[in-house]
Amino acid sequence: MADSKHSSVTSYVIVALILGVITYIEFALVEYPQAWLGSTWTLIWLIALSVVKFIMVVMFFMHLKDDDRTYTGFFSSGMFIALATFVGLTAMFVLPRAVASTKPENVAAANAAHAEVPEALLKNVETGGASRTPDQIADTPRAADRSVEITPPTASNDASTYSVTTPTTAAAGTPAAGTPEAAPAQAGGANEAPAAAAPAAATPAAAAPVEWDSAHGATVFNSNCMACHQATGQGIPGAFPPLAGHAADIYALDGGRTYLLDTVLFGLQGQITVNGAVYNGVMPAWGHLPDGDIADALNHVLTAWGTPPSGFTPFTAADVEARRPDALTSADVHAHRKAIGLQ
Amino acid sequence: MSAEASTAATGTVVAPYRSSKLPDVKLMMWVFLASDTMFFGSLIGTYLAYHNRSLVGPMPRDLFDIPLTTVSTFVLLMSSFLMVLALHSLRQNDISKFRLWTLGVAVFGSIFLGFQVYEFTHFANAGLSVHQNLFGTTFFILTGTHGVHVTVGVLWLVSLLITSYLRPMQAKDAVYLEIAGLYWHFVDIVWIVIFTVVYLVEFL
C-alpha cells in the first residue's frame, strides 16, 4: 500500500494517457473507417482495445495487480458467470433464429420433424400447456376448462347486449372437451346462431349453418398468434396491430373475408395503418398449419373479443383449402389490402 | 481466505476467529461487484439478443452520435483517473488534495450524467421510448441502469466529501474511499464495454 509517491502517481498518469489514446483510436476506427482493415478486423480491434482498457482499469486503478488474490478470485468468478450468461442468452436467441425460416423446404422439414413429436407432447400442445389432458378435463371439468356458449346480440351491435354464459356441467362434461371430434356437438348450439341471425344475402359461402371448434380455435390462436397480437387481440402499439374489433371491421368490407384468410395463409408485408397508427412489420405466413387450424383461429379472432361481424359465416377447412392454390406472396396480400379500401 | 469467517466480523476489529486479514468492507465490495458484473452481463446480452429485431424505427444508427459519446466516455475515464489521485492523496494524509480530486470525480461524473440526460432527451424527441421498439426497451434499460449506478456513485462521493468536513478524515479511513473508488472504476469499466458493444460496433 505504501508505494512511493512518484512511482504510483506516474503510473496513474501513464495509464490515464493510454486510456485516452485508446478511446481516440476506437473513435477514429469507427468515424474514419479503414477500408484496408475490413469490418471483421475492425471489430476484432475494437473488442481487443476495449479489453485492454478494461484490464488496465482493473489492474492499475482498482489495484488488482498488487492486491490480495482473493479479490481477483471473486471478481473473476463474477466475470466468468456473466460471460456464461451472455453466451447462454446469445445461444437461446441466435440458434432458433438460424433454424427457423419460411423457405418451403424448411417448412416441409419442420413438418416432418413435427410428425415425430411424441403423442404426450402433442397433447400438451393441444391443451395449450395445461397440466391436464383433455380426457382428464372431461372427467372433472373446472369452471375455467368449460367452453363458453356465445349468444349473439339480437337487436343491435351494442356490446352490452352480448352475453356469455357457461354451459351446465353436464354439457361441458361430454367426453374429451378439447378434441375436434366432440367439440362441434357442444359448440354447435352457440355457433349456429350467428349464421342464422345473419341476412342470407351477405354470406358469400354456403347458407347452411357452419360449426367450428371454439376451444380448438383458442388453442391455435394462443400457440401461434398470441405472442404478437396478445391474448385479448389488443396487439402491441407501434409493433403489432390490434385484431379485436379491427378484424370484424375488415370482415364487413367487400372482399374482407377473403383478405383475412389470405393474411393468415400467405402473410402480409408492407406499411399499414390501423386506427390511425402506422405499422411496418411482417406478418408471417401460417400456411404450414392445417386448414382446420387456420379456420378455427380466424373464427376465434372474429368471435372471442366482441360482437361477431354482421353476416358472419365461420371459416371452414374447405375455405382455407380453396385459397391455397392461389399461393400469394405477402406483397400480393398487401396489394389485396389496398384493393379492398384499407390503408 | 474464507468469506464466511470475514463476514461474521465487522469493521476493522479483528475477532479471534477471523481467518482473513482482508478488510470486510473491501471484500464485500468485491463480492458485490462480482454480482453486479452478472447483472450487467445479462443486460448487455439481452440488448444484443434483441439487436436488429425492432420492427419500427427509430433504429440505433438513426440516433447514435459517436463523437458526442466518445467525449462522454473520455470524461468518465478521466474521472477514474481523478479517483485514484484522490485515494492516493488521502493515503498521504493530504486532505485538501483529497477534497479537490474527489470533488473533481463528482463533477466529471455529473458531466457524464449531463451527456446522458441530453442523449436521452434527444432520443425521446426523435420518437424513441421504452415502448417504441425492442431497441428502445433494451437500450434505455441498459444505459439507464448504468446511469443510476453513476448517480449513486456521485452521491456516495459527495457524502464522503461532506463527511470529511464533519469529522477528521485520515489515512486510516482510506478504505472507505477505496471501496467507493472500486465502485466508481467498476461503473467506468461497464461503460467501456457498453461504449464498444452498443455504440461503436453498431457502425461497422
Q: What is the pLDDT of residues B18-74, one digit of tens each?
A: 667 888 899 999 999 999 999 999 999 999 888 887 877 788 988 999 999 999 999
Residue in this structure with the C-alpha cell 458531466, named with its chain if needed: B111
Q: Among all residues of chain A, which has the CA nearest to that of B183?
A: A62
Domains of chain A listed by start with CATH number? 5-99 (no CATH), 119-339 (1.10.760.10)
- CB-CB contact of A295 with A237 (8 Å): no
Give the pLDDT confidence score for residue B200 in this predicted structure: 92
CATH of the domain at B84: 1.20.120.80
- CB-CB contact of B87 with B169 (8 Å): no
Most confident of A136-150, B20-34, B184-198: B184-198
Cα(B34)–Cα(A81) distance, rounded to whole angstroms?
9
Query: Are A238 and B186 inside 8 Å of each other by CB?
Result: no
DSSP secondary structure code for residue A236 in this structure: B
Higher pLDDT, A47 or A148: A47
Cα(B42)–Cα(A107) distance, rounded to whole angstroms?
33
Residue A313 has pLDDT above 80, yes or no: yes
Res. A292 pLDDT band, cuts 50 70 90: confident
E runs forming strands in chain A? 149-151, 163-165, 268-269, 272-274, 277-279, 282-283
From the list B36, B42, B77, which residue is nearest A23 (CB)? B77
Candidate from A5-9, A178-182, A329-333 with smallest mean pLDDT: A178-182
- CB of A75 less than 8 A from some CB of B: yes
Backbone conformation region of residue B10, classed left if phi is above 0, alpha if psi is from -120 to 50, else beta: beta
Quickly count: other Cβ atoms within 10 Å of residue B138's Cβ.
23
- CB of A29 less than 8 A from some CB of B: yes
Residue A79 has pLDDT above 80, yes or no: yes
**Domain carrying residue B49:** 24-203
DSSP secondary structure code for residue A327 in this structure: -
Q: What is the pLDDT of residues A224-264, one digit of tens each?
A: 888 888 888 888 877 888 888 888 888 888 888 888 888 89
Task: Calculate mean pLDDT across residues A34-42.
Answer: 85
Task: Calculate mean pLDDT across residues A287-308.
Answer: 86
Which residues of B are less than 8 Å from A39 in CB distance?
204
- Show the DSSP H helices in B19-133 as ranges: 24-49, 60-63, 66-91, 95-125
Give the pLDDT confidence score for residue A2 in this predicted structure: 44
Nearest residue to B119 via CA among B150, B152, B147, B148: B147
Residue B166 lies in a domain: yes
Task: Calculate mean pLDDT across residues B10-18.
Answer: 57
Residue B142 lies in a domain: yes
Higher pLDDT, A274 or A182: A274
pTM, two decimals, is 0.56
Q: Give the gap in angstroms from C-alpha A114 to the nearest C-alpha of chain B.
A: 27
Give the pLDDT confidence score for residue B35 in this predicted structure: 94
Cα(B54)–Cα(B130) distance, rounded to whole angstroms?
12
DSSP secondary structure code for residue A32 in this structure: S
**Averaged pLDDT score across all residues of chain A:** 74
Residue B5 has pLDDT above 80, yes or no: no
- CB of A14 less than 8 A from some CB of B: no
Residue B125 lies in a domain: yes
- CB of A16 less than 8 A from some CB of B: yes
Residues 30-69 of A with CB under 8 A from B: 30-31, 39, 42-43, 46-47, 49-50, 53-54, 57-58, 60-62, 68
Res. A123 pLDDT band, cuts 50 70 90: low
Cα(B83)–Cα(A187) distance, rounded to whole angstroms?
72
Res. A201 pLDDT band, cuts 50 70 90: very low
Residue B156 lies in a domain: yes
Instruction: Tell which of A74, A94, A236, A280 to mutate to test the B interface (max B CBs under 10 Å).
Output: A74
Cα(B23)–Cα(A302) distance, rounded to whole angstroms?
67
Res. A7 pLDDT band, cuts 50 70 90: low
ipTM score for this prediction: 0.85
Q: Give the gap in angstroms from C-alpha A151 to the nearest C-alpha of chain B.
A: 37
Give the pLDDT confidence score for residue A145 in this predicted structure: 47
Query: Are A75 and B34 inside 8 Å of each other by CB?
Result: yes
Total structural domains within chain B = 1
Give me the amino acid identity at B133.
Answer: N
Give the pLDDT confidence score for residue A171 in this predicted structure: 41
Classify each residue of B73-93 as buried b or exposed e, where b means 16 or more C-beta atoms within 10 Å of its C-beta.
Answer: bbbbbbbbbbbbbbbbbbbee
